[in-house]
Protein backbone atom coordinates (compact mmCIF):
# COMPACT_ATOMS: atom_id res chain seq x y z
CA UNK A 1 0.00 0.00 0.00
CA UNK A 2 1.38 3.34 -0.95
CA UNK A 3 1.45 4.66 2.54
CA UNK A 4 3.95 6.86 4.28
CA UNK A 5 6.61 4.20 4.26
CA UNK A 6 6.67 2.34 7.53
CA UNK A 7 10.40 1.74 7.33
CA UNK A 8 11.15 5.40 6.67
CA UNK A 9 11.53 8.19 9.14
CA UNK A 10 9.21 11.06 8.31
CA UNK A 11 8.48 14.44 9.62
CA UNK A 12 6.55 13.91 12.82
CA UNK A 13 3.23 12.15 13.25
CA UNK A 14 1.15 14.69 11.39
CA UNK A 15 3.92 16.66 9.80
CA UNK A 16 5.05 17.24 6.25
CA UNK A 17 8.30 16.08 4.78
CA UNK A 18 10.47 19.16 5.04
CA UNK A 19 12.83 20.05 2.23
CA UNK A 20 16.41 21.14 2.80
CA UNK A 21 15.30 24.68 2.03
CA UNK A 22 12.59 24.50 4.67
CA UNK A 23 14.92 23.09 7.30
CA UNK A 24 17.38 25.90 6.71
CA UNK A 25 14.73 28.61 7.06
CA UNK A 26 12.68 27.94 10.20
CA UNK A 27 10.01 30.53 10.89
CA UNK A 28 9.78 30.17 14.63
CA UNK A 29 8.57 27.53 17.03
CA UNK A 30 4.85 28.27 16.70
CA UNK A 31 4.95 28.06 12.92
CA UNK A 32 6.95 24.83 13.08
CA UNK A 33 4.57 23.35 15.61
CA UNK A 34 1.64 24.29 13.41
CA UNK A 35 2.95 22.36 10.43
CA UNK A 36 3.80 19.39 12.61
CA UNK A 37 7.57 19.01 12.82
CA UNK A 38 9.05 16.68 15.39
CA UNK A 39 9.28 18.10 18.87
CA UNK A 40 11.76 16.56 21.24
CA UNK A 41 11.84 17.18 24.95
CA UNK A 42 14.80 19.33 25.92
CA UNK A 43 14.89 17.45 29.21
CA UNK A 44 16.57 14.53 27.44
CA UNK A 45 20.27 14.79 28.21
CA UNK A 46 21.10 12.72 25.17
CA UNK A 47 19.58 15.36 22.94
CA UNK A 48 21.14 18.39 24.58
CA UNK A 49 23.92 18.79 22.00
CA UNK A 50 21.30 19.06 19.28
CA UNK A 51 19.39 21.94 20.82
CA UNK A 52 17.76 24.28 18.34
CA UNK A 53 19.58 23.15 15.22
CA UNK A 54 18.32 21.36 12.13
CA UNK A 55 19.14 17.68 11.85
CA UNK A 56 18.95 15.59 8.70
CA UNK A 57 18.76 11.92 9.63
CA UNK A 58 19.43 8.74 7.75
CA UNK A 59 21.03 9.55 4.43
CA UNK A 60 19.27 6.54 2.90
CA UNK A 61 15.92 8.32 2.98
CA UNK A 62 14.81 11.36 1.04
CA UNK A 63 13.04 12.84 4.06
CA UNK A 64 14.78 15.58 5.98
CA UNK A 65 12.80 16.18 9.17
CA UNK A 66 13.68 19.04 11.44
CA UNK A 67 14.07 18.20 15.09
CA UNK A 68 12.81 21.06 17.20
CA UNK A 69 13.73 20.82 20.85
CA UNK A 70 11.72 22.64 23.45
CA UNK A 71 9.99 21.90 26.69
CA UNK A 72 6.25 21.45 26.41
CA UNK A 73 3.85 22.15 29.22
CA UNK A 74 2.02 19.10 30.55
CA UNK A 75 -1.26 20.87 29.92
CA UNK A 76 -0.56 20.89 26.19
CA UNK A 77 -0.87 17.12 25.82
CA UNK A 78 -4.21 15.59 24.90
CA UNK A 79 -3.54 12.69 27.25
CA UNK A 80 -4.08 15.08 30.16
CA UNK A 81 -7.45 16.32 28.92
CA UNK A 82 -10.69 14.69 30.17
CA UNK A 83 -11.91 13.87 26.64
CA UNK A 84 -8.87 11.64 26.15
CA UNK A 85 -8.79 10.04 29.60
CA UNK A 86 -9.14 6.61 27.95
CA UNK A 87 -5.49 6.86 26.88
CA UNK A 88 -4.36 6.28 30.45
CA UNK A 89 -6.57 3.17 30.63
CA UNK A 90 -4.15 1.71 28.09
CA UNK A 91 -1.15 2.28 30.35
CA UNK A 92 0.05 5.33 28.42
CA UNK A 93 1.63 8.35 30.09
CA UNK A 94 2.74 11.80 29.03
CA UNK A 95 6.15 10.33 28.16
CA UNK A 96 6.50 6.68 27.13
CA UNK A 97 9.35 4.30 26.44
CA UNK A 98 9.14 2.91 22.93
CA UNK A 99 11.19 -0.27 23.25
CA UNK A 100 10.16 -3.52 24.95
CA UNK A 101 12.14 -6.72 25.29
CA UNK A 102 10.77 -7.90 28.63
CA UNK A 103 11.38 -4.47 30.10
CA UNK A 104 10.48 -1.02 28.81
CA UNK A 105 13.32 1.28 27.78
CA UNK A 106 14.58 3.34 24.86
CA UNK A 107 17.76 5.20 23.97
CA UNK A 108 16.65 7.03 20.86
CA UNK A 109 15.05 10.40 20.24
CA UNK A 110 12.03 11.62 22.14
CA UNK A 111 9.29 12.44 19.63
CA UNK A 112 5.83 13.88 20.10
CA UNK A 113 2.85 12.13 18.59
CA UNK A 114 0.19 14.46 17.18
CA UNK A 115 -3.49 14.02 16.46
CA UNK A 116 -4.23 14.57 12.73
CA UNK A 117 -7.77 15.74 13.48
CA UNK A 118 -6.63 18.83 15.39
CA UNK A 119 -2.80 18.93 15.12
CA UNK A 120 -2.53 18.81 18.91
CA UNK A 121 0.19 16.83 20.76
CA UNK A 122 -1.05 13.58 22.27
CA UNK A 123 1.99 12.34 24.22
CA UNK A 124 5.69 11.69 23.82
CA UNK A 125 7.66 8.55 23.00
CA UNK A 126 11.33 7.79 23.39
CA UNK A 127 12.20 5.72 20.35
CA UNK A 128 14.68 2.91 20.02
CA UNK A 129 18.06 2.70 18.32
CA UNK A 130 19.73 -0.02 16.26
CA UNK A 131 21.41 -1.14 19.47
CA UNK A 132 18.02 -1.34 21.17
CA UNK A 133 16.77 -3.49 18.29
CA UNK A 134 19.71 -5.81 18.88
CA UNK A 135 18.62 -6.19 22.50
CA UNK A 136 15.09 -7.01 21.35
CA UNK A 137 16.29 -9.68 18.94
CA UNK A 138 18.53 -11.24 21.59
CA UNK A 139 15.67 -11.36 24.07
CA UNK A 140 13.30 -12.71 21.45
CA UNK A 141 15.70 -15.53 20.54
CA UNK A 142 16.07 -16.42 24.20
CA UNK A 143 12.28 -16.40 24.68
CA UNK A 144 11.95 -18.70 21.66
CA UNK A 145 13.79 -21.43 23.56
CA UNK A 146 10.82 -21.58 25.94
CA UNK A 147 8.06 -20.77 23.48
CA UNK A 148 9.02 -23.36 20.85
CA UNK A 149 8.98 -26.13 23.45
CA UNK A 150 5.33 -25.48 24.31
CA UNK A 151 2.78 -27.66 22.52
CA UNK A 152 0.94 -25.76 19.80
CA UNK A 153 -2.43 -26.00 21.62
CA UNK A 154 -0.79 -24.50 24.71
CA UNK A 155 0.49 -21.61 22.59
CA UNK A 156 -3.03 -21.33 21.21
CA UNK A 157 -4.37 -20.91 24.74
CA UNK A 158 -2.06 -17.93 25.26
CA UNK A 159 -3.26 -16.40 21.99
CA UNK A 160 -6.85 -16.99 23.14
CA UNK A 161 -6.10 -15.01 26.28
CA UNK A 162 -4.55 -12.23 24.21
CA UNK A 163 -7.80 -12.07 22.27
CA UNK A 164 -9.74 -11.78 25.52
CA UNK A 165 -7.39 -9.05 26.79
CA UNK A 166 -7.92 -7.15 23.54
CA UNK A 167 -11.69 -7.53 23.93
CA UNK A 168 -11.42 -5.92 27.35
CA UNK A 169 -9.64 -2.91 25.81
CA UNK A 170 -11.55 -2.93 22.52
CA UNK A 171 -13.07 0.54 22.85
CA UNK A 172 -10.14 2.51 24.33
CA UNK A 173 -7.62 0.95 21.93
CA UNK A 174 -9.95 1.62 19.02
CA UNK A 175 -10.31 5.20 20.19
CA UNK A 176 -6.53 5.55 20.33
CA UNK A 177 -6.36 4.39 16.71
CA UNK A 178 -8.87 7.11 15.86
CA UNK A 179 -6.90 9.78 17.72
CA UNK A 180 -3.41 8.90 16.48
CA UNK A 181 -4.12 7.53 12.98
CA UNK A 182 -7.22 9.57 12.15
CA UNK A 183 -9.73 6.91 11.07
CA UNK A 184 -13.24 7.19 12.54
CA UNK A 185 -13.98 5.49 15.86
CA UNK A 186 -16.07 2.61 14.44
CA UNK A 187 -13.22 1.78 12.06
CA UNK A 188 -10.67 2.02 14.87
CA UNK A 189 -12.70 -0.33 17.04
CA UNK A 190 -13.25 -2.59 14.03
CA UNK A 191 -9.51 -2.75 13.49
CA UNK A 192 -8.94 -3.99 17.04
CA UNK A 193 -11.77 -6.48 16.45
CA UNK A 194 -9.73 -7.82 13.51
CA UNK A 195 -6.92 -8.67 15.93
CA UNK A 196 -9.46 -10.35 18.22
CA UNK A 197 -10.89 -12.33 15.32
CA UNK A 198 -7.53 -13.51 14.05
CA UNK A 199 -6.73 -14.65 17.60
CA UNK A 200 -9.86 -16.83 17.43
CA UNK A 201 -8.74 -18.14 14.05
CA UNK A 202 -5.27 -18.88 15.38
CA UNK A 203 -6.59 -20.74 18.42
CA UNK A 204 -8.33 -23.20 16.10
CA UNK A 205 -5.25 -23.37 13.91
CA UNK A 206 -3.14 -24.35 16.93
CA UNK A 207 -4.89 -27.74 16.93
CA UNK A 208 -4.84 -28.15 13.15
CA UNK A 209 -1.33 -27.27 11.96
CA UNK A 210 -0.07 -30.46 10.41
CA UNK A 211 1.97 -32.02 7.69
CA UNK A 212 1.27 -34.82 5.22
CA UNK A 213 1.88 -38.55 5.12
CA UNK A 214 2.68 -39.51 1.53
CA UNK A 215 2.88 -42.91 -0.20
CA UNK A 216 6.46 -44.16 -0.24
CA UNK A 217 7.71 -46.12 -3.25
CA UNK A 218 9.98 -48.17 -1.01
CA UNK A 219 8.64 -51.01 1.13
CA UNK A 220 8.96 -50.55 4.87
CA UNK A 221 9.33 -46.77 4.56
CA UNK A 222 7.19 -43.83 5.65
CA UNK A 223 7.37 -40.55 3.68
CA UNK A 224 5.98 -37.44 5.35
CA UNK A 225 6.22 -33.67 5.57
CA UNK A 226 6.79 -31.99 8.91
CA UNK A 227 6.44 -28.32 9.88
CA UNK A 228 8.47 -26.44 12.51
CA UNK A 229 8.67 -22.78 13.57
CA UNK A 230 11.14 -20.42 11.91
CA UNK A 231 12.28 -18.64 15.08
CA UNK A 232 12.17 -14.84 15.34
CA UNK A 233 9.75 -13.08 12.97
CA UNK A 234 10.24 -9.37 12.24
CA UNK A 235 7.11 -7.33 11.54
CA UNK A 236 7.20 -3.81 10.07
CA UNK A 237 3.76 -2.21 9.93
CA UNK A 238 2.25 0.97 8.50
CA UNK A 239 0.30 3.88 9.95
CA UNK A 240 -3.06 3.16 8.32
CA UNK A 241 -3.64 -0.17 10.10
CA UNK A 242 -1.46 0.18 13.19
CA UNK A 243 -3.13 -2.69 15.11
CA UNK A 244 -4.64 -5.18 12.67
CA UNK A 245 -1.60 -5.89 10.52
CA UNK A 246 0.50 -6.75 13.55
CA UNK A 247 -2.39 -8.87 14.79
CA UNK A 248 -2.56 -10.81 11.52
CA UNK A 249 1.13 -11.60 11.71
CA UNK A 250 1.58 -12.10 15.44
CA UNK A 251 -1.38 -14.37 16.21
CA UNK A 252 -0.48 -16.78 13.42
CA UNK A 253 3.26 -16.64 14.09
CA UNK A 254 2.77 -17.27 17.80
CA UNK A 255 0.72 -20.45 17.41
CA UNK A 256 3.28 -21.62 14.85
CA UNK A 257 5.94 -21.34 17.57
CA UNK A 258 7.65 -18.11 16.50
CA UNK A 259 8.52 -15.09 18.61
CA UNK A 260 8.24 -11.53 17.32
CA UNK A 261 10.09 -8.26 16.93
CA UNK A 262 7.76 -5.43 15.90
CA UNK A 263 8.61 -2.06 14.40
CA UNK A 264 5.40 -0.07 14.07
CA UNK A 265 5.01 3.03 11.93
CA UNK A 266 7.05 5.99 13.24
CA UNK A 267 3.88 8.09 13.29
CA UNK A 268 1.67 5.76 15.37
CA UNK A 269 4.01 4.79 18.21
CA UNK A 270 1.38 5.12 20.95
CA UNK A 271 -0.77 2.45 19.30
CA UNK A 272 2.26 0.14 19.11
CA UNK A 273 3.06 0.68 22.77
CA UNK A 274 -0.52 0.23 23.98
CA UNK A 275 -0.97 -2.96 21.95
CA UNK A 276 2.31 -4.40 23.20
CA UNK A 277 1.32 -3.67 26.80
CA UNK A 278 -1.84 -5.75 26.33
CA UNK A 279 0.14 -8.69 24.94
CA UNK A 280 2.75 -8.29 27.68
CA UNK A 281 0.10 -8.53 30.40
CA UNK A 282 -1.01 -11.95 29.16
CA UNK A 283 2.51 -13.34 28.87
CA UNK A 284 3.46 -12.11 32.35
CA UNK A 285 0.26 -13.50 33.86
CA UNK A 286 1.18 -16.92 32.48
CA UNK A 287 4.78 -16.74 33.74
CA UNK A 288 6.13 -16.77 30.21
CA UNK A 289 8.99 -14.69 28.80
CA UNK A 290 7.45 -11.35 27.85
CA UNK A 291 10.02 -11.10 25.05
CA UNK A 292 7.88 -13.53 23.05
CA UNK A 293 6.48 -10.25 21.68
CA UNK A 294 9.03 -7.42 21.54
CA UNK A 295 8.76 -3.88 20.19
CA UNK A 296 11.27 -1.36 18.89
CA UNK A 297 9.79 1.97 17.80
CA UNK A 298 12.11 3.83 15.49
CA UNK A 299 12.94 5.01 12.04
CA UNK A 300 14.66 3.88 8.87
CA UNK A 301 17.82 2.74 10.61
CA UNK A 302 15.85 0.31 12.79
CA UNK A 303 13.88 -1.06 9.83
CA UNK A 304 17.00 -1.47 7.74
CA UNK A 305 18.83 -3.25 10.55
CA UNK A 306 15.92 -5.66 10.96
CA UNK A 307 15.81 -6.41 7.23
CA UNK A 308 19.55 -7.18 7.19
CA UNK A 309 19.70 -9.23 10.40
CA UNK A 310 20.29 -12.94 9.79
CA UNK A 311 18.79 -13.75 13.19
CA UNK A 312 15.39 -12.77 11.77
CA UNK A 313 14.53 -15.49 9.22
CA UNK A 314 11.26 -13.84 8.12
CA UNK A 315 10.50 -10.13 7.73
CA UNK A 316 6.88 -9.17 7.11
CA UNK A 317 6.66 -5.68 5.64
CA UNK A 318 3.58 -3.57 4.96
CA UNK A 319 4.23 -0.32 3.09
CA UNK A 320 4.87 1.19 -0.31
CA UNK A 321 6.04 -0.79 -3.30
CA UNK A 322 9.19 1.31 -3.53
CA UNK A 323 10.32 0.61 0.02
CA UNK A 324 9.04 -2.96 -0.07
CA UNK A 325 11.32 -3.62 -3.01
CA UNK A 326 14.30 -2.37 -0.99
CA UNK A 327 13.32 -4.51 1.99
CA UNK A 328 12.92 -7.58 -0.21
CA UNK A 329 16.38 -7.11 -1.71
CA UNK A 330 18.00 -6.68 1.69
CA UNK A 331 16.29 -9.79 3.07
CA UNK A 332 16.93 -11.84 -0.06
CA UNK A 333 20.59 -10.86 -0.08
CA UNK A 334 21.00 -12.85 3.14
CA UNK A 335 18.69 -15.64 1.88
CA UNK A 336 15.99 -14.73 4.37
CA UNK A 337 12.25 -14.82 3.75
CA UNK A 338 10.05 -11.80 3.17
CA UNK A 339 6.29 -11.36 3.30
CA UNK A 340 5.24 -8.20 1.44
CA UNK A 341 1.89 -6.39 1.42
CA UNK A 342 2.44 -3.34 -0.77
CA UNK A 343 0.63 -1.08 -3.22
CA UNK A 344 -2.93 -1.36 -4.49
CA UNK A 345 -4.52 0.52 -7.40
CA UNK A 346 -7.89 -1.13 -7.05
CA UNK A 347 -10.78 -1.02 -9.53
CA UNK A 348 -14.51 -1.70 -9.52
CA UNK A 349 -15.83 -2.75 -12.93
CA UNK A 350 -19.54 -2.16 -13.51
CA UNK A 351 -21.30 -4.31 -16.11
CA UNK A 352 -24.26 -2.96 -18.08
CA UNK A 353 -26.74 -5.08 -16.06
CA UNK A 354 -25.55 -3.90 -12.64
CA UNK A 355 -27.84 -2.10 -10.18
CA UNK A 356 -26.66 1.55 -10.14
CA UNK A 357 -27.93 2.17 -6.62
CA UNK A 358 -26.03 -0.84 -5.30
CA UNK A 359 -22.89 0.34 -7.08
CA UNK A 360 -23.15 3.82 -5.58
CA UNK A 361 -23.62 2.51 -2.05
CA UNK A 362 -20.67 0.14 -2.42
CA UNK A 363 -18.42 2.75 -4.03
CA UNK A 364 -19.07 5.42 -1.41
CA UNK A 365 -17.33 3.64 1.45
CA UNK A 366 -14.82 1.95 -0.85
CA UNK A 367 -13.68 5.33 -2.19
CA UNK A 368 -13.85 7.60 0.84
CA UNK A 369 -13.60 5.29 3.86
CA UNK A 370 -10.53 6.01 6.02
CA UNK A 371 -10.13 9.14 3.86
CA UNK A 372 -8.83 6.94 1.05
CA UNK A 373 -5.98 5.59 3.15
CA UNK A 374 -6.68 1.88 2.83
CA UNK A 375 -4.60 -0.37 0.64
CA UNK A 376 -7.91 -1.74 -0.66
CA UNK A 377 -9.50 1.67 -1.36
CA UNK A 378 -11.21 1.89 -4.77
CA UNK A 379 -9.08 4.21 -6.92
CA UNK A 380 -10.65 3.46 -10.31
CA UNK A 381 -14.36 3.06 -11.10
CA UNK A 382 -14.66 1.48 -14.56
CA UNK A 383 -18.25 1.95 -15.75
CA UNK A 384 -20.02 0.49 -18.76
CA UNK A 385 -20.82 3.42 -21.04
CA UNK A 386 -24.59 2.86 -20.74
CA UNK A 387 -24.43 3.41 -16.95
CA UNK A 388 -21.66 6.00 -16.79
CA UNK A 389 -23.73 9.17 -16.60
CA UNK A 390 -26.36 7.91 -14.17
CA UNK A 391 -23.79 6.51 -11.75
CA UNK A 392 -21.66 9.66 -11.88
CA UNK A 393 -24.73 11.78 -11.15
CA UNK A 394 -25.83 9.59 -8.23
CA UNK A 395 -22.31 9.29 -6.80
CA UNK A 396 -21.80 13.07 -6.87
CA UNK A 397 -25.11 13.45 -5.02
CA UNK A 398 -24.08 10.81 -2.47
CA UNK A 399 -20.77 12.61 -1.88
CA UNK A 400 -22.66 15.85 -1.32
CA UNK A 401 -24.93 14.26 1.28
CA UNK A 402 -21.89 12.68 2.89
CA UNK A 403 -20.16 16.00 3.58
CA UNK A 404 -22.22 16.64 6.71
CA UNK A 405 -20.63 13.54 8.27
CA UNK A 406 -17.07 14.91 8.23
CA UNK A 407 -15.54 15.71 11.62
CA UNK A 408 -13.61 14.58 14.68
CA UNK A 409 -13.03 10.82 14.34
CA UNK A 410 -13.98 10.35 17.99
CA UNK A 411 -17.40 11.94 17.62
CA UNK A 412 -20.44 9.73 17.16
CA UNK A 413 -21.88 10.08 13.68
CA UNK A 414 -18.60 11.01 11.99
CA UNK A 415 -18.00 8.94 8.86
CA UNK A 416 -14.96 10.72 7.45
CA UNK A 417 -11.88 11.88 9.30
CA UNK A 418 -8.63 13.60 8.37
CA UNK A 419 -5.68 12.60 6.30
CA UNK A 420 -2.90 11.27 8.49
CA UNK A 421 -0.40 14.01 7.73
CA UNK A 422 0.51 17.11 5.77
CA UNK A 423 2.47 14.80 3.53
CA UNK A 424 -0.79 13.12 2.55
CA UNK A 425 -2.35 16.48 1.76
CA UNK A 426 0.63 17.44 -0.40
CA UNK A 427 0.24 14.23 -2.38
CA UNK A 428 -3.50 14.84 -2.74
CA UNK A 429 -3.03 18.34 -4.11
CA UNK A 430 -0.24 17.34 -6.48
CA UNK A 431 -2.34 14.50 -7.87
CA UNK A 432 -5.42 16.65 -8.45
CA UNK A 433 -3.26 19.20 -10.25
CA UNK A 434 -1.65 16.50 -12.41
CA UNK A 435 -5.01 14.96 -13.30
CA UNK A 436 -6.43 18.32 -14.36
CA UNK A 437 -3.38 19.00 -16.50
CA UNK A 438 -4.02 15.70 -18.30
CA UNK A 439 -7.62 16.61 -19.08
CA UNK A 440 -9.39 15.31 -16.00
CA UNK A 441 -12.50 17.09 -14.73
CA UNK A 442 -13.03 17.40 -10.99
CA UNK A 443 -16.77 16.86 -10.59
CA UNK A 444 -16.59 16.78 -6.80
CA UNK A 445 -14.06 17.92 -4.22
CA UNK A 446 -10.44 18.56 -5.10
CA UNK A 447 -9.65 21.00 -2.30
CA UNK A 448 -8.19 21.10 1.17
CA UNK A 449 -10.88 21.91 3.71
CA UNK A 450 -10.41 25.07 5.75
CA UNK A 451 -10.88 23.59 9.17
CA UNK A 452 -8.77 22.36 12.05
CA UNK A 453 -6.78 19.26 11.18
CA UNK A 454 -5.62 17.61 7.96
CA UNK A 455 -8.90 17.39 6.08
CA UNK A 456 -9.39 17.20 2.31
CA UNK A 457 -12.55 16.94 0.27
CA UNK A 458 -13.31 13.46 -1.08
CA UNK A 459 -12.75 13.82 -4.80
CA UNK A 460 -14.24 12.44 -8.02
CA UNK A 461 -12.41 12.96 -11.33
CA UNK A 462 -13.89 12.06 -14.72
CA UNK A 463 -12.71 12.27 -18.32
CA UNK A 464 -9.31 10.68 -17.78
CA UNK A 465 -7.71 8.25 -20.24
CA UNK A 466 -7.48 4.81 -18.63
CA UNK A 467 -3.74 4.71 -19.26
CA UNK A 468 -2.88 8.22 -18.05
CA UNK A 469 0.21 8.13 -15.81
CA UNK A 470 -1.67 9.59 -12.85
CA UNK A 471 -4.35 6.89 -13.15
CA UNK A 472 -1.74 4.16 -13.36
CA UNK A 473 -0.16 5.08 -10.02
CA UNK A 474 -1.60 4.80 -6.53
CA UNK A 475 -2.21 8.04 -4.64
CA UNK A 476 -2.95 7.35 -0.98
CA UNK A 477 -5.83 9.82 -0.77
CA UNK A 478 -9.62 9.92 -1.31
CA UNK A 479 -9.46 10.36 -5.10
CA UNK A 480 -11.38 8.13 -7.51
CA UNK A 481 -11.08 8.22 -11.30
CA UNK A 482 -14.26 7.33 -13.15
CA UNK A 483 -13.51 5.68 -16.49
CA UNK A 484 -15.94 4.78 -19.29
CA UNK A 485 -15.54 1.36 -20.95
CA UNK A 486 -17.40 -0.39 -23.75
CA UNK A 487 -17.50 -3.93 -22.33
CA UNK A 488 -16.54 -6.15 -19.43
CA UNK A 489 -13.64 -7.50 -21.48
CA UNK A 490 -12.27 -3.98 -21.92
CA UNK A 491 -12.82 -3.31 -18.21
CA UNK A 492 -10.85 -6.45 -17.29
CA UNK A 493 -8.02 -5.34 -19.55
CA UNK A 494 -7.91 -1.94 -17.86
CA UNK A 495 -8.11 -3.54 -14.40
CA UNK A 496 -5.05 -5.66 -15.17
CA UNK A 497 -2.90 -3.06 -16.92
CA UNK A 498 -1.68 -1.38 -13.71
CA UNK A 499 1.42 -2.66 -11.95
CA UNK A 500 -0.36 -3.35 -8.67
CA UNK A 501 -2.55 -6.40 -8.13
CA UNK A 502 -4.22 -6.25 -4.73
CA UNK A 503 -8.04 -6.04 -4.85
CA UNK A 504 -10.66 -5.89 -7.60
CA UNK A 505 -14.43 -6.06 -7.96
CA UNK A 506 -17.02 -6.72 -10.66
CA UNK A 507 -20.69 -5.76 -10.39
CA UNK A 508 -22.73 -7.96 -12.72
CA UNK A 509 -25.71 -10.30 -12.95
CA UNK A 510 -24.22 -12.19 -15.89
CA UNK A 511 -23.07 -15.66 -14.83
CA UNK A 512 -20.70 -15.97 -17.79
CA UNK A 513 -18.97 -12.74 -16.78
CA UNK A 514 -18.70 -13.98 -13.19
CA UNK A 515 -16.65 -17.01 -14.22
CA UNK A 516 -14.69 -15.03 -16.81
CA UNK A 517 -13.74 -12.59 -14.01
CA UNK A 518 -12.64 -15.45 -11.74
CA UNK A 519 -10.83 -17.38 -14.48
CA UNK A 520 -7.35 -17.34 -16.00
CA UNK A 521 -8.14 -14.36 -18.25
CA UNK A 522 -10.00 -12.47 -15.55
CA UNK A 523 -8.69 -10.29 -12.71
CA UNK A 524 -5.00 -10.75 -11.93
CA UNK A 525 -5.39 -9.54 -8.34
CA UNK A 526 -4.98 -11.46 -5.11
CA UNK A 527 -8.49 -10.44 -4.04
CA UNK A 528 -11.30 -10.84 -6.59
CA UNK A 529 -14.81 -9.76 -5.55
CA UNK A 530 -18.22 -9.92 -7.18
CA UNK A 531 -21.03 -7.52 -6.27
CA UNK A 532 -19.14 -6.18 -3.25
CA UNK A 533 -16.53 -3.40 -3.18
CA UNK A 534 -12.75 -3.77 -3.13
CA UNK A 535 -12.34 -3.24 0.61
CA UNK A 536 -13.53 -5.11 3.68
CA UNK A 537 -11.60 -8.41 3.44
CA UNK A 538 -12.45 -11.12 5.98
CA UNK A 539 -9.81 -12.75 8.18
CA UNK A 540 -10.66 -16.28 7.00
CA UNK A 541 -9.18 -15.71 3.55
CA UNK A 542 -5.50 -15.10 2.93
CA UNK A 543 -4.93 -11.39 2.39
CA UNK A 544 -2.47 -10.04 -0.19
CA UNK A 545 -1.87 -9.43 -3.86
CA UNK A 546 0.20 -10.08 -6.94
CA UNK A 547 2.70 -8.16 -9.11
CA UNK A 548 3.96 -4.98 -7.41
CA UNK A 549 1.72 -5.69 -4.42
CA UNK A 550 4.42 -8.14 -3.40
CA UNK A 551 2.88 -11.60 -3.59
CA UNK A 552 2.64 -12.09 0.18
CA UNK A 553 -0.36 -13.54 2.02
CA UNK A 554 -1.31 -12.66 5.57
CA UNK A 555 -4.06 -13.77 7.91
CA UNK A 556 -6.32 -16.73 7.05
CA UNK A 557 -6.38 -19.86 4.88
CA UNK A 558 -2.93 -21.53 4.77
CA UNK A 559 -0.96 -18.32 5.34
CA UNK A 560 0.48 -20.04 8.43
CA UNK A 561 2.91 -21.90 6.16
CA UNK A 562 4.90 -18.70 5.66
CA UNK A 563 5.76 -18.65 9.37
CA UNK A 564 7.13 -22.21 9.42
CA UNK A 565 9.77 -24.31 7.71
CA UNK A 566 8.86 -27.54 5.96
CA UNK A 567 10.90 -30.74 6.08
CA UNK A 568 10.43 -33.83 3.96
CA UNK A 569 11.12 -36.80 6.20
CA UNK A 570 11.68 -40.46 5.28
CA UNK A 571 11.66 -43.18 7.93
CA UNK A 572 12.89 -46.71 7.27
CA UNK A 573 11.43 -49.12 9.82
CA UNK A 574 13.06 -52.25 8.34
CA UNK A 575 16.55 -53.68 8.20
CA UNK A 576 16.70 -53.33 4.42
CA UNK A 577 18.13 -50.37 2.46
CA UNK A 578 16.24 -50.12 -0.85
CA UNK A 579 17.03 -47.04 -2.94
CA UNK A 580 14.49 -44.79 -4.61
CA UNK A 581 13.73 -45.08 -8.32
CA UNK A 582 14.77 -48.73 -8.12
CA UNK A 583 18.47 -47.89 -8.26
CA UNK A 584 20.84 -50.79 -7.48
CA UNK A 585 24.21 -49.89 -5.92
CA UNK A 586 25.72 -53.27 -5.17
For the question of residue 136 being annotated catalytic, the response is no
Q: How far apart are CA 408 and CA 185, in angstroms?
A: 9
Q: How far apart are CA 224 and CA 207, in angstroms?
A: 19
Stated as kind and residue range, the H or E segment containing 270 is helix 269-285
Q: What is the bridge-based pairing of β-strands 95-97 and 99-100?
A: unpaired
Residue environment code for 326-354, b if the CB has 16+ CB neighbours within 10 A, otherwise e:
bbbebbeeeebbbbbbbbbbbbbbbbbeb
Secondary-structure percent of the chain, ordered helix, strand, coil, rounded to 5: 40, 20, 40
Catalytic position from the list 187, 191, 194, 341? 341
CA-derived radius of gyration, the chain: 25
Distance of alpha carbon 435 from its chain centroid, rounded? 27
Contacts of 186 (CB under 8 A, 6+ apart): none
Contacts of 393 (CB under 8 A, 6+ apart): none
DSSP E strands, 154-252: 212-214, 221-229, 232-236
What are residue 529's DSSP bridge partners?
A: 505
3-state secondary structure of 552: coil
For the question of residue 341 being annotated catalytic, the response is yes
Q: How far apart are CA 232 and CA 324, in angstroms?
A: 20
Between the alpha carbon of residue 200 and those of residues 271, 431, 475, the distances in Å are 21, 41, 34
What are residue 566's DSSP bridge partners?
A: 227
Catalytic position from the list 375, 457, 474, 485? 375
Residues with a known catalytic role: 341, 375
Amino acid sequence: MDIRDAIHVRAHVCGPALSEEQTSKPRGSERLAAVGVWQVSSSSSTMAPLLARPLTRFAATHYSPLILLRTMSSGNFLINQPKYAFLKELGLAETNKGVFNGKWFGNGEVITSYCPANKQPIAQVQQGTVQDLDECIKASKEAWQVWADMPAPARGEIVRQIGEALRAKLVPLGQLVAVEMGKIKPEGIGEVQEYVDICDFAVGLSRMVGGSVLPSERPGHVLMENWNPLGVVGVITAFNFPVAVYGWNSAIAMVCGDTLVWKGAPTTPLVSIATTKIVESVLVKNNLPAAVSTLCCGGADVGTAMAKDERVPLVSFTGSTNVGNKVALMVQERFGRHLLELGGNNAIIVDEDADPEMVVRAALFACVGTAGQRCTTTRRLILHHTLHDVIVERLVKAYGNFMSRIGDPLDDGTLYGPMHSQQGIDGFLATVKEAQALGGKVVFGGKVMEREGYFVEPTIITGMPHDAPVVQKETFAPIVYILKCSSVDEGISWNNEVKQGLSSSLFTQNLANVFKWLGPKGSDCGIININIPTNGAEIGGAFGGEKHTGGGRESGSDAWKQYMRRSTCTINYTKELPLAQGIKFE
